[in-house]
Amino acid sequence: MNFIFTEEQLLRIANIFDNAGQVFLGTSVLTPLIFGVEKDSKFVVLLGIFGMIISWWISLRVTRIAANL
């Protein structure tokens, strides 16, 4: 398969998604849990967990694609 990205570029993209997952974890999940979950922030925590899982899953997929080049 011909990709428009090199292996190094794909690994950098995977790193960006990994960092995005950490940002979701820190801002949307841990912060409300540390400072107390209010009624309104439960939805934010759920969205944060969803965003974190999706970001890390994309990171893993891109890393596997880069490994197969």
8-52 residue pLDDT tens: 999 999 999 999 999 999 988 888 888 877 777 788 888 999 999
Q: What was the pLDDT predicted at 54? A: 97
Report how far residue 47's alpha carbon sits from residue 50's, in angstroms, rounded to the nearest whole number. 5
Compute the average pLDDT of residues 44-63.
94
Q: First and final CA of the chain: distance in angstroms?
A: 8
27 or 54, which is more confident? 54
Both tokens of residue 29?
């999940």
Q: What was the pLDDT predicted at 20? A: 96
**54 assigned to some structural domain:** yes
Residues in the chain: 69
**44 assigned to some structural domain:** yes
**17 assigned to some structural domain:** yes
**1 assigned to some structural domain:** no
How many structural domains comprise the chain? Answer: 1
Q: What was the pLDDT predicted at 1? A: 59
